[in-house]
Amino acid sequence: MQSPTSKYLPALRFHWLTPYYDNIAGLTTPERRFKQALITQAQLEQGHRVLDLASGTGTLAIWLKQHQPQAEVIGIDCDPAILALAVEKAKKANVSVLFDRAMSCSLPYPEEHFDRVVSSLFFHHLPWLEKEQTAKELYRVLKPGAQLHVADWGRASNILMRGLFLFEQMFDGFDKTQDNVSGKLVTLFEQSGFIEVTQKQTFDTLFGTLALYSSIKPG
């Protein structure tokens, strides 16, 4: 298993780009639309304990808390620089979100701890073995009957989207991103034990097709 000090790539591959992450994400993806759709899809309730996996600068975690103030929201990421940005954003937004540092393959939480896990644009950064380890960890920390909701690159909706995704693959690596464009995230979650694994909707972007997935841990 990895530790918080294991080698990792920052969200935009280069540490010097981290302070500009929000601006770049806003310009290159329909961030508000697809993250709000993911929040709606998650159907948060009062008292839910929610994990935002690879929370980055904290945008999704903050919006989750604003959407359901009576939920406990925890963001987790391995990059201390981006976590510092997230903490400051949460303070400015005047919301209570806890941010932890750890790797996705070794989450610092007990079994059956969360009612929801959400994740945005993270799985495509991982090679297949780490995708499998991460999915198994998410299964472990979710309660029976709890739900996993993921937004990430998916199978291209048309030829144009497939062509545009080549730029994303050159940036993040063909070996890691090919799983996404081949539609293997559904297989990943099913093999990890989740049921009712479904692709809910897609968004066409400047770099390809974004897909929203949902799945349930059997209860």
Band of the pLDDT at 171, cuts 50, 70, 90?
A: confident
Res. 15: pLDDT tops 80: no
Which residues in 85-194 belong to E strands, given as ranges?
A: 98-101, 114-120, 142-153
pLDDT for 189-206, tens place per residue? 999 999 999 999 999 999
Buried-exposed string 177-201: b where 16+ CB fall within 10 A, e elsewhere: bebbbeebbbebbeebebeebeeee
- Is 10 part of a structural domain of the chain? no
Total domain count, the chain:
1
CB 41 within 8 A of CB 18: no
- Is 16 part of a structural domain of the chain? no
Going by C-alpha positions, the residue among 126, 118, 135, 124 that lies closest to residue 169 is: 124
CB 129 within 8 A of CB 176: no
- Is 43 part of a structural domain of the chain? yes
**Facing residues of 150 across strands?**
119, 213
What mean pLDDT comes out for the span 148-175?
A: 95
One DSSP character per residue, 5-17 reads: TS----TTSSGGG
The residue range of the domain holding 73 is 28-216
First-last CA distance in the chain: 27
pLDDT for 98-131, tens place per residue? 999 999 999 999 999 999 999 999 999 999 999 9
- Is 106 part of a structural domain of the chain? yes
Going by C-alpha positions, the residue among 146, 103, 93 that lies closest to residue 9 is: 103
Q: What is the pLDDT of residue 1?
A: 30
3-state secondary structure at position 122:
coil
- Is 3 part of a structural domain of the chain? no
- Is 79 part of a structural domain of the chain? yes
User: Can you give the CATH number for the domain in which 103 is found?
Assistant: 3.40.50.150
- Is 5 part of a structural domain of the chain? no
- pTM for the model stands at 0.89
